[in-house]
Chain A
Amino acid sequence: MDKVADKSEVQSSHPDPAFELLGLGIGLRNCHFDHILAEWPEVDWFEAISENFMDSGGRPRWVLDQIAERYPVVLHGVSMSIGSTDPLDMAYLAKLKKLADDVSARWVSDHLCWTGILGLNSHDLLPMMLTEEALDHVVERVRQAQDVLERPLVLENPSSYVQFQKSTISEPDFLRALCDATGCRLLLDVNNVYVTCFNAGTSTSDYMKAFPFDRVVQMHLAGHQHCGTHIVDTHDSPVCDDVWQLFRTAWQKTGGAAVLLEWDGDVPEFERVHAEVLRAQAYIDDIAPLPEQMVPQRRKTTTSTPVDFLVPNVMNDSRIQIP
């Protein structure tokens, strides 16, 4: 493990002054709306899923506007499909730009992945074949996206369950080259590193050694499900110890990246989610973390990239007026 630096020293040495040192944030979820509006909890910042608010003319967008008045907000997308060979969706990008401007998004992120082709969307973060052809393709699209968004794009390393026979570039090297060519920044998800490396049988240590930490402005933490032969990135449980140790090492190397906890399946009460991300402070400060709080396990299925948390409970806000 790297020598742990003092937090204030680390923060002052953050290499990218264009990006704020936001602290410890939480992924904004529909089921927490009422709690946040009622309590205005002491959270450093929120990350909102872009696609949930880009077209919203209802309560979700109203809630986001309220939150954006009081907290820093970052937008995190799941459908830009920057790696797809379909044309970039320029209408999507225009809506994203408007939303980012409206809520003063500190930055806009998505994933190094493709989500669909031929006009279809899998709503999954599908893996890229990492080749020179793919790098040229993604470089061109990141440039286009950044031109529309008028800000650097922040891209996240996804969890992966396959490795392509024809890939010729490692993921860290691909991301480094992408950043060099476009000026984009990175969102390092240490849980995704852990999942991808376990499934591929590769070393997290080698991955981290090659990773361009100087481009990282944000980190993600999340839980996963270990299935024995493989790990599925389920975002439905606390962060495991191995991932916390990866986080401890990686965060110091980033020089103070913003930290965000994703909890998307069986989402517990807000306080429980908040408590989980606050545990990160102990790893940042290199002190013993508080014991993990128990979370009831309810989920019946082990699904990668859960997205059902994106679907609002419309039934709760509906009534019938009997004459």
Chain B
Amino acid sequence: MTADGGSLSKVQRWMMSALIAPGRVDGESVTETFLPGAQLDAASCLGIYQRSYIIRLRICLMGQFPATLHALGEDLFCDFADEYLRTCPSDSYTLYELGRRFAAWMEENRPDRDLHPEEREPWVDFMIDLATYERMLFHLFDAPGHEGKPWPSIQTPDNELILLPGLVLAQFRFPVAWYYHEVRAGKSPLYPAPVQQLVAIVRKDFQTTTFPLSPFHFRFLTSIQRLGSIDAALEEMALWCGRSLADVQSSWIADVRQGWITAGFFIRRNDQD
């Protein structure tokens, strides 16, 4: 049967709206819908659902953004979270998606959004970058990974190596990875000054590790990701920096190759799903 237009559908739409926007519910509709409880009137009974709705999801957001919570402080974080949950209610069966739009929402709703970019408050940029980084970590934590499959060794030829499919390359306007791990260590870091941070984030053996990168290495990894080939990326890097291919290859082998393979940046091409 379809409940479209039926009383079941109607009451569910009404109750969902009452949870998300409790201020819009009129008392008459509440008493028409619910009986009074044993010791509470109908509005108070509904109020249990309304209060729990926002508190429950706010606590989940706190769990997904612990460093942003630390940076904003609990009161301000809750203000942001409550407004976010009102304008972007969960649209997924899994709570893991609850924070998916949080950083974008912060960007769209920043208090100085009407100002010229150069006049905007840098702390807002920091919060947006920090929330973006936390979301990346949260996603990577439970994303498909390479655990249980063989990893390449330093003897594996370059043409058999491809980047770990889940590897994340990201750039930020602030050292958010440093800030995050200071909070993780139980410290109370101050807001950092703006400085570009380029990172690779890798999960190996269920441990998520952030590797700060130089601009050169970031560009190199981006090339590998785009071209799907280390050799092609080396050629592109040689052209870009005006060095010989042999020089760039030598630097790759001597300076980073072993470390990146050991860290789990690569898998063997034949071992991908």
Contact = CB atoms under 8 A, between A and B. Distances in A.
A165 B35 contact: yes
Contacts of B7: 129, 131, 133, 166
Interface residues of A, number: 70
A172 interface: no
B241 interface: no
A310 B95 contact: yes
B184 A308 contact: no
Given A129-B11, A308-B59, A318 B181 contact: yes
Contacts of A162: 34-35, 37, 42, 45-46, 49
A308 B56 contact: yes
Interface string B1-16: 1011011110111011
B189 interface: no
Nearest to B95: A310
A301 B142 contact: no
Contact of A199 (B20, B32, B33, B37): B37
A315 B95 contact: no
Interface stretch (A5-13, A112-120, A244-252): A112-120
A161 interface: yes
B57 interface: yes
Contact of B144 (A57, A114, A133, A312): A57
Contacts of B32: 165
A1 B210 CA distance: 60
B184 A318 contact: yes
A57 B142 contact: yes
Contacts of B240: none
Contacts of B145: 57-58
Nearest to A227: B48
Given A301-B55, A307-B95, A319 B11 contact: no
Contact of A314 (B11, B39, B46, B138): B138
A18 interface: no
A35 interface: no
Nearest to B88: A120
Contacts of B45: 161-163, 199, 230
A84 interface: yes
Contacts of B44: 229-230
Interface string A299-323: 0010111111011111101111111
A320 B177 CA distance: 7
Contact of B210 (A52, A163, A232, A321): A321
Interface string B33-66: 1110111101011101101110111011011101
Interface string B249-273: 0000000000000010000000000
Contacts of B53: 122, 124
B1 A303 contact: no
B216 interface: no
B142 A85 contact: no
Contact of A55 (B6, B142, B203): B142
9 contacts: A58-B203, A120-B90, A122-B19, A131-B8, A162-B45, A164-B35, A314-B208, A315-B67, A317-B208
Interface of A: 51-52, 54-62, 79, 81, 84-85, 89, 92, 114-124, 126, 129, 131, 133-134, 136-137, 140, 161-166, 198-201, 228-230, 232, 301, 303-308, 310-315, 317-323
